[in-house]
Amino acid sequence: MPKAVKTRKDPLFEFVIVFAIMLGGVFSFSSDTQQVEAKPEVKPPVVEVVKRSYVVPTGKPENLVTGLKAPWELLFLPDGQALVDERDSGSILLISKDLKVSKVGFTRAAPPCEKFCEGGTLGMTYAADRLGGKLSLFVFLTTLNDNRILKYDLNTDDAGVWSLANKRVIVKGIERSGKSTTHNGGRIAIGPDGKLWVTLGDSGMRGSTSQNWNKLAGSVLRVNLDGSVPEDNPRNSLVWAKGFRDTQGMAWDEFGNMWTTEFGQDTWDELNLLEKGKNYGWPIAEGLYKFVETPLEPGNPGSDAQGTDKNPAPKPTIPEMPSKDVLVTDSRYTPPILTWHPSEAACSGITHVQSTLISACLRGGKLWFIPVLGDKKLGEPQEFFKGSFGRLRKATLAPDGSLWLITSNRDGRGGWSSGGENALDDRIIRVKLKNVYYD
Ligand SMILES: [Ca+2]
């Protein structure tokens, strides 16, 4: 319990408060008797009508940066320059305000992988230390044997040149078999609570990780910035919630609710409302329903990884809607808030902008804009740019209020996203936003 709350129960404290009120009464009484009575001017209260709003795209999108390969995360530094990383090369690139690209760091190249490759240098985020000065950059990295979180000092000089130093590994051993190249999750973010949050996948091991609280894979993690376990985590481990197949996006809305995107197998992708200690059901459930295996080509790991450029796998057909008798109603498993078929979704990054969740989708090749109407209350999702840019990995709010998108058409799995590859891929594309007001 915080100290400030304890002192309220202190008898001495209460006596001081009572005495102060008495004194205040005496002074105000003596003061009043010396004043001539005057009628104060009464003004009617000003009632400000605040209309709620959400955002949608407007205007013509423009290419800002071209020729990247499988960029995974884009974030803005305090001086308005941006960092972007490349999944396979391990490069961390700086984009200056005049859109010049330079290399500021390198983690390591992604581990060898023939197809359905999803690991490498994935999420990035940064935080200031408790004194508010020094910055640290956190990077999610796949190695041959595990997934891990790196922490660097993030330094800048007077000329605005950024550099990385003092690399440490603060979380390691997130389970991953050397043969499995999929379902690494990989998004990291600093939450409103100042902790480091990590979204993970089952590393291709299904229930043996996602339903086991002793495993890190198949979870969402909540981590102190030095890699230690926060005292108020649910089970004295880094694990905050379980039961995930592959989550690559998270965002907090203005009510403090945490939302995550998840790739389903072949039938249902999910948007989840993340809460402490809950189990989100994979592989018992996919979406709202009991998970049923769909026969696929051998080695095909599912919706987020369909199709390679050179040797596309057959597109799975979407099964009939399951009947209600296979709805998962077991209260041990928390159902998603929204579901989509993977052809309409397979969404990776998600960001929150002015009462709107903006989800960037790979196979769906679009952005979903989802209005936040209230506390735990979402409006009807609206789709934009379907087929315009191919696969989209993440949308990030820029300091000027526009949205920067990163494509993922060179990640080895183009093909099925309508729009396909562009000769300039991978790109950073700027989209302007406008507010839509409603009562
Ligand atoms: Ca689920």
CATH code of the domain containing 334: 2.120.10.30
pLDDT of residue 329: 83
Tokens of 102: 């330079």
In tens digits, what is the pLDDT along the chain, a chain of 439 residues?
Answer: 333 333 333 443 343 343 444 444 433 334 444 455 667 787 877 777 778 899 999 999 999 999 999 999 999 999 999 999 999 999 999 999 999 999 999 999 999 887 788 999 999 999 997 776 799 999 999 999 999 999 999 999 988 899 999 999 999 999 997 777 899 999 999 999 999 999 999 999 999 999 999 999 999 999 999 999 999 999 999 999 999 999 999 999 999 999 999 999 988 999 999 999 999 999 999 999 889 876 544 444 455 544 333 444 344 444 454 555 567 888 999 999 999 998 899 999 999 999 999 999 999 999 999 999 999 999 999 999 998 999 999 999 999 999 999 999 999 886 556 666 788 999 999 999 999 998 7
Between the two ends of the chain, the Cα-to-Cα distance in Å is: 41
Q: How far is the CA of 288 from the centre of ligand 1 (A)?
A: 7
Range of the domain at 219: 62-438
CA 47 to chain centre: 37
Tokens of 70: 């499988």
CA atoms within 13 A on the CB side of 180: 19
Distance CA(32)–CA(222), nearest Å, equals 57
The total domain count for the chain is: 1
In a domain, residue 99? The reply is yes
In a domain, residue 29? The reply is no
Q: How far is the CA of 125 from the centre of ligand 1 (A)?
A: 25
DSSP code at position 113 = -
pTM as predicted? 0.84
Distance CA(121)–CA(422), nearest Å, equals 23
In a domain, residue 9? The reply is no
In a domain, residue 416? The reply is yes
Which residue do the tokens 């408060």 mark? 17
Q: How far is the CA of 335 from the centre of ligand 1 (A)?
A: 6
Cβ atoms 181, 119 nearer than 8 A: yes
In a domain, residue 90? The reply is yes
Parallel/antiparallel/unpaired status of strands 269-274 and 338-340: antiparallel
pLDDT of residue 42: 79
Distance CA(210)–CA(216), nearest Å, equals 8
Q: How far is the CA of 376 from the centre of ligand 1 (A)?
A: 17
pLDDT of residue 302: 52
pLDDT of residue 303: 53
Q: How far is the CA of 17 from the centre of ligand 1 (A)?
A: 52
Longest dimension (CA), the chain: 93
Q: How far is the CA of 80 from the centre of ligand 1 (A)?
A: 37
Q: How far is the CA of 339 from the centre of ligand 1 (A)?
A: 10
Distance CA(376)–CA(272), nearest Å, equals 11
pLDDT of residue 49: 73
Distance CA(172)–CA(164), nearest Å, equals 20
In a domain, residue 150? The reply is yes
Question: Which amino acid, one-letter code, is at 99?
Answer: L
Q: How far is the CA of 194 from the centre of ligand 1 (A)?
A: 26
Distance CA(219)–CA(68), nearest Å, equals 30
In a domain, residue 41? The reply is no
Q: How far is the CA of 261 from the centre of ligand 1 (A)?
A: 10
pLDDT of residue 295: 55
pLDDT of residue 51: 82
The CA angle 31-37-39, to the nearest 5 degrees, is 125
Q: How far is the CA of 246 from the centre of ligand 1 (A)?
A: 10
Tokens of 242: 């379980």
Q: How far is the CA of 278 from the centre of ligand 1 (A)?
A: 11
pLDDT of residue 349: 98
Distance CA(37)–CA(114), nearest Å, equals 88
Q: How far is the CA of 357 from the centre of ligand 1 (A)?
A: 19
Question: Which amino acid, one-letter code, is at 433?
Answer: L
In a domain, residue 373? The reply is yes
pLDDT of residue 415: 54
